[in-house]
Structure 1
Amino acid sequence: MTPVNLLLIAITVLVSWMAFKNRALADRLILWPPAVDRKRQYDRLITYGFIHADLAHLAFNMITLFFFGGQIERVMLGLTGSYLTYPAFYLGALLVSILPSYLKNQKNPNYMSLGASGAVSAVLFAFILLSPWSIIFVFFIPAPAIIYAAFYVGYSIWMDRRGGDRINHSAHLAGAAFGVLFLLAMRPEIFQHFLAELSNPRFNLMGG
């Protein structure tokens, strides 16, 4: 059982659904830098991750979180024996992943950001660190996790520099880095495990 991950999914779905129907709620939870900077509404650095632009945005993030978050929750519970580690990791990922965007746009009244993608990236890349050759499905196309990771990072860097698609690619990159570094900080020997796995390709479905 992965109760914390399921609870995070349930809360995110519920809050996002409420925000779809309540513009005032969405406006209060979204990351809007002037509200943080002038009104000291620091909670927005976390709450933005519990609302989404539309149903497709919500579904993509929550399906990914469902498949990978439970595995990371079990790993962290096994390493620490505490159910608090995984939610601390997830909420920390929301905060860290948005900080580059917030600092860059701190004085920009036209900037807003929402969605759990940064934290979901942290979860996904923590999984890839543990099981790099697992086969994952990207838009129903199977690919080794490490190959997907390389493409994902390269694409996100390119699109972040290019801009124009209204997707917060810097949050994806910061979240991915946080996921890897958090796990390595917990257990540095995981890096040796990653290298050993990398040198011994085994194509398992979802790390099974």
Structure 2
Amino acid sequence: MEQFSLYPATLTLIAVNVAASVFGWSNPQFQAANMFHVGPIRQNREYHRMLTSGFLHVGVFHLLINMFVLFQFGATIEYSVGTTNFLIIYFASLVGGSLWAYLENFRNPDYRAVGASGAVSGVLLAYCLFWPFSLLYIFMIIPMPAVLFAVLFILISATLAGRENRIIGHEAHIGGALFGLVMTMIVVPDSLGIFAGQIAALFGGS
């Protein structure tokens, strides 16, 4: 209960993601009706897919990775900027990631994708604004500054987005990250100054 009172939105989002994903695995019609699918969005104006697809996943590993990252960074961001600001950042990143994927695949009506990756990418970039030199561990082994991890994450996502088999929304990583970054600077105006101050301190600035 104590953890829930500290970051209720993060834990609630994780619970909703798990519930929706598990239900989708056992109900293909639900999964198909709520995944990101360019054709129905364009032709039938099923815009809800841009939101609902962010709560579905293709398998256990996909779900666990996204929820692990969401908990690691989301809890910290929510505690630091407040629940309301965190939710604004999260959903702006989710929808922004879907919009990016939609624009990139506008001429491909068969394009489908699911996953919370867009929203999680935005949360990750928000984290990097406040703690750019916090050490993250790749595969739990390789230490890397958060800002470098974020850059590599986006570059890898851009590369994977070019693959033909793209049920995981790699395009959404890019859009989600950018929307999350911008929205963080809007709802927490001091965030850019905090980031700049740490960069300046690294190079001997005051």
TM-score class normalised by the smaller sequence = 0.7 to 0.9
Number of residue-to-residue matches in the alignment? 195
| TM-score, length-scaled by structure 1 | 0.86
Q: Secondary structure at the match of 2:132?
A: coil
Query: Partner residue of 1:125?
Result: 125
Provide the C-alpha distance between the structure 1 equivalents of 2:87 and 2:189, rounded to a whole number of angstroms.
Answer: 20
Query: Partner residue of 1:73?
Result: 78
Distance 1:100 1:135, change over 3 A: same
| TM-score, length-scaled by structure 2 | 0.87
The Cα shift of 1:6 comes to 0.4
1:97-155 CA distance string (max 9 Å, x none): 11122123335332101000010000011001100111112221321111212222333
Query: Partner residue of 2:64?
Result: 59
Provide the C-alpha distance between the structure 2 equivalents of 1:158 and 1:18, rounded to a whole number of angstroms.
Answer: 31
CA contact (8 A) 1:29 1:44 kept: yes
1:72-112 CA distance string (max 9 Å, x none): 112221xxxxx433223212211111112212333533210
Deviating beyond 6 angstroms after TM superposition, the runs of 4 or more aligned structure 1 residues are none
Provide the C-alpha distance between the structure 1 equivalents of 2:149 and 2:165, rounded to a whole number of angstroms.
Answer: 21
Query: Partner residue of 1:48?
Result: 53
Provide the C-alpha distance between the structure 2 equivalents of 1:55 and 1:69, rounded to a whole number of angstroms.
Answer: 20
RMSD between superposed Cα atoms in Å: 1.8
Structural mapping, 1:30-179, within 5 Å? 30-77=35-82, 83-141=83-141, 142-160=143-161, 162-164=162-164, 166=166, 167-179=168-180
Query: Partner residue of 2:3?
Result: none
Q: 30-39 or 11-20, which moves further after superposition?
A: 30-39
Which runs of 5 or more structure 1 residues have no equivalent in the other structure? 78-82, 202-208
Which one-letter code corresponds to 1:18 in the other structure?
Answer: F
Query: Partner residue of 1:191?
Result: 192
Q: Secondary structure at the match of 1:84?
A: helix
Provide the C-alpha distance between the structure 2 equivalents of 1:192 and 1:89, rounded to a whole number of angstroms.
Answer: 18
Provide the C-alpha distance between the structure 2 equivalents of 1:21 and 1:149, rounded to a whole number of angstroms.
Answer: 34
The Cα shift of 1:51 comes to 0.4
Query: Partner residue of 2:33?
Result: 28
Provide the C-alpha distance between the structure 1 equivalents of 2:155 and 2:45, rounded to a whole number of angstroms.
Answer: 35
Q: Secondary structure at the match of 1:136?
A: strand
CA contact (8 A) 2:136 2:146 kept: yes
CA contact (8 A) 2:101 2:175 kept: no
Q: Secondary structure at the match of 2:137?
A: strand
Query: Partner residue of 1:80?
Result: none
The Cα shift of 1:169 comes to 2.9
CA contact (8 A) 1:94 1:116 kept: yes
The Cα shift of 1:191 comes to 1.5
CA contact (8 A) 1:52 1:58 kept: yes
| Identity over aligned pairs, percent | 33
Provide the C-alpha distance between the structure 1 equivalents of 2:49 and 2:136, rounded to a whole number of angstroms.
Answer: 32
